[in-house]
Chain A
């Protein structure tokens, strides 16, 4: 297990290096000049050169990349702001340290993700198992029909629809806002209720379909038939055998989904005007804010890579045939 973790962590670092490098390369491949953006209307060539130098844009991109990389470990000072290691750079657009912005935005995305994940896991797996249990019966058809409908709904359709139905026209629920849970737990939950409902609805549908299909597949496995042939009760066959087999798929997909969601649900956050990592990613790109863009990208990539490692480790616990090496 330890060997596995060390090996995978090293692998993850390599992936992150590549991701950040590619982000840098791509940024310089597009015709954008951040220095010109800050130069303003009365821009003289001298001014531009000065700004460019201050921002560190007067080097070739590999040099800039190297500077960014080394600053992580050495720290640095930007615009008179000191940034201690680990330092992820400075956003000239926001006049803040990238690390600070990320820490500021992450709780919003985390709350959004965790809240809806709890709901969609419970309902998605529950409904999926029910549908698999009642395969071909009305309950299955209703559940499958609902999940087909809900999963083909896009968040930018379902989101505004929910806002209109629950907030604007009826005042049933509060408009989406983020209040830190440490300040006001009720306000936190109330402010995120509508996004949770919409996000959970769509993801519940996905998990219903996935759970149903892997349960149906497991239920037709030979070893499930063996369990029935030796007199195991229906519940025991369903839970101890079929569910045990289906769990692997669900844990795998969930782990990866969690990584993706935590890296920023771009459309969801934009739809509900929540200031999380997803929104930040879009804005940093729009504003040609390189250091912030790289910061968001690396955080998202880290989360995905991290959860991938967790999934693989969890898989070994679920399936004794898998050995970690």
Chain B
């Protein structure tokens, strides 16, 4: 656990030196309409072998953060500041050459839609083997053998023949398995899974999540799981970070955040989930309003126009002052409500809704 006492320091859950350490990361894009502040002074850590779930609605900066970790932004239009340290190596400002060596070997990514994310022009085996050859200098034969080994590992039947198939010959679930095989072929220590199950059937989703979990235990990989599905996080992650408008608004262990959420936005997310055991007639409560424009953020707390509790803040700082994420370590939220108020509101008003 990192113990520096910086105000926005995040060090969730698991102990040990973090494998990935992000500090004050800001990502800005210049567009015709203005500067988009996609990520704004974000800090978080991922410990080796642990899973961090990043939750938030579309446009909250989840994917942008992780593309920044891999260095996949167009450098001409993107301004990245802050620090991203992977296993002690600084990635912000690293040359493309250095990043190429790390991508696929130390860190890799699983994308949302395996149909579009896999090349339609190359066989599955080639696409898996290519990564292996690039980073290990293996021969074509060795790469093919490795691809078969990986396909076996992710549970593809008849891997020796399926290795020569093209992605369109695979089913959706199998494609995502192949994608996982591809991202794990060089035993990376960090895998970023960007909504890995969103494009899949619910039954296949569970299989894919279990597979990721098994492989993580076997290989000791750290995983960042980006999702908007709290159920997925509850099932797979140890830590959660809730993002809103490019910042972390709450973070903590899965247990802390899901059982005793502190931030009104997290309450909103939880209330908007249907409960399988609850009464079917209870209407879902969506978070009212729409996500803010990242070009022109509301002043103060960016969530204030959508917040049901801002009247209760003593001194009314919601529209003037942006709340920091506090406390510095452990379960933290960025909200002007006092911890005691949050506790009361959650127990009195929110918890009964969650069924």
**Which residue of the partner chain B has the closest CB to A318?**
B121
- Cβ-based interface call for A283 (8 A): no
- Contact residues of A between 256 and 292, Cβ < 8 Å to B: none
Any A CB within 8 A of the CB of B135 = yes
* Cβ 8 A contact of B104, one of A221, A230, A240, A320: A230
Q: Is the CB of A230 within 8 A of B130?
A: yes
Q: Does B227 sit within 8 A of A, measured CB to CB?
A: no
Closest chain-A Cβ to B282's Cβ sits at a distance in Å of 38
| Residue interface bits B98-126, CB-to-A below 8 A is 1, else 0 | 00111111001101010011111110000
Task: Determine the chain A residues whose CB is within 8 A of the CB of B162 once the complex forms.
Answer: none
Interface string of A235-257 (1 = CB under 8 A from B): 00000110011000000000000
Q: A226-B111, A230-B130 given as contacts; is B103 within 8 A of A241 (CB)?
A: no
Please report the C-alpha to C-alpha distance between residue A241 and residue B121 in the assembled complex, in whole angstroms: 8
**A241 and B105 within 8 A (CB):** no
Q: Which of A136, A227, A229, A245 contacts B70 (CB 8 A)?
A: A229
Say how far A314's CB is from chain B's closest CB, in angstroms.
Answer: 14
Residues of B within 8 A of A231 (CB): 100-105, 131, 134-135
| Max chain B Cβ within 10 angstroms of own Cβ: one of A221, A231, A320 | A231
Within 8 A of A (CB), among B46-79: 70, 72, 76
A321 touches B120 (CB 8 A): yes
Chain A residues near B119: list those with CB within 8 A: 223, 226-227, 241, 244
Q: Determine whether the beta carbon of B117 is less than 8 Å from that of A320.
A: no
Q: Is B182 an interface position by the 8 A CB rule?
A: yes
A94 at the interface (CB under 8 A from B): no
Bound Cα distance A319, B119 (Å): 11
Complexed CA–CA distance, A244 and B108 (Å): 23
Chain B residue with Cβ nearest A248: B121
Q: Verify if B183 is at the interface (C-beta below 8 Å from A).
A: yes
A230 contacts B131, C-beta separation under 8 Å: yes
A46 neighbours in B (Cβ, 8 Å): none
Given A222-B116, A234-B96, A321-B168, A228-B72 contact (CB < 8 Å): yes
> How many B residues touch A, CB cutoff 8 Å?
29
The verdict on B166 contacting chain A, using a C-beta distance below 8 Å, is yes
Query: Is the CB of A232 closer than 8 A to any CB of chain B?
Result: yes
List which B150-204 residues lie within 8 A (CB) of chain A. Answer: 166, 168, 182-183
Contact A223 B118 (CB under 8 A): yes
Instruction: Report if A233-B120 is in contact (Cβ < 8 Å); known contacts: A225-B72, A226-B111, A228-B72.
Output: no
Q: Tell me which residues from 134 to 156 in chain B have a Cβ below 8 Å from any Cβ of chain A.
A: 134-135
A222 touches B113 (CB 8 A): yes
Within 8 A of B (CB), among A304-325: 318-321
Instruction: Determine how close the nearest CB of chain A comes to the CB of B97; give it in whole angstroms.
Output: 8
Shortest Cβ distance from residue B185 to the other chain A in the assembled complex, whole angstroms? 8
Give the distance in Å from the alpha carbon of A229 to the alpha carbon of B112 in the complex. 13
Alpha-carbon separation in the docked complex, A245 to B120 (Å): 9
Chain A residues, CB < 8 A from B166: 320-321
B residues within 8 A CB of A241? 119, 121
Asked whether B103 lies within 8 Å of A229 as measured between CB atoms, the reply is yes
> In the bound complex, what is the Cα–Cα distance between A222 and B111 (angstroms)?
9
Residues of A within 8 A of B135 (CB): 231
Are A229 and B109 neighbours in the complex by a CB distance under 8 Å? yes
In whole Å, how far is B309's beta carbon from the nearest beta carbon of chain A?
Answer: 40
Considering the complex, which residues of chain A in the window 136-167 have a beta carbon less than 8 Å from any beta carbon of chain B? 136
B103 touches A230 (CB 8 A): yes
Closest CB-CB distance, A318 to chain B, in whole Å?
Answer: 8
For residue A234, which residue of chain B has the nearest CB? B96
- Which residue of chain A is the closest to B113 with respect to CB atoms? A222
> B residues within 8 A CB of A244?
119, 121-122
User: Chain B residue with minimal CB distance to A320?
Assistant: B166
Complex Cα spacing A221 to B295, Å: 26
Report the minimal beta-carbon distance from A201 to chain B, rounded to whole angstroms.
31
Q: Are B120 and A229 in contact (CB under 8 A)?
A: no
Question: How distant is A258 from chain B, measured CB to nearest CB, in Å?
Answer: 23
Cβ distance A227 to chain B, nearest Cβ, rounded Å: 7
Q: Which 8 residue pairs are nearest across A and B when measured between Cβ atoms?
A: A231-B104, A230-B104, A222-B116, A231-B103, A223-B119, A230-B131, A229-B109, A222-B117
10 A-B interface contacts by CB (under 8 A): A136-B76, A223-B117, A228-B72, A229-B72, A230-B182, A230-B183, A231-B131, A232-B134, A241-B121, A321-B120
B: residues with CB less than 8 A from A are 70, 72, 76, 96, 100-105, 108-109, 111, 113, 116-122, 130-131, 134-135, 166, 168, 182-183
> What 10 additional pairs, Cβ within 8 angstroms, besides A225-B117, A230-B183?
A222-B117, A226-B118, A229-B70, A229-B109, A230-B104, A230-B108, A231-B101, A231-B135, A241-B119, A244-B121
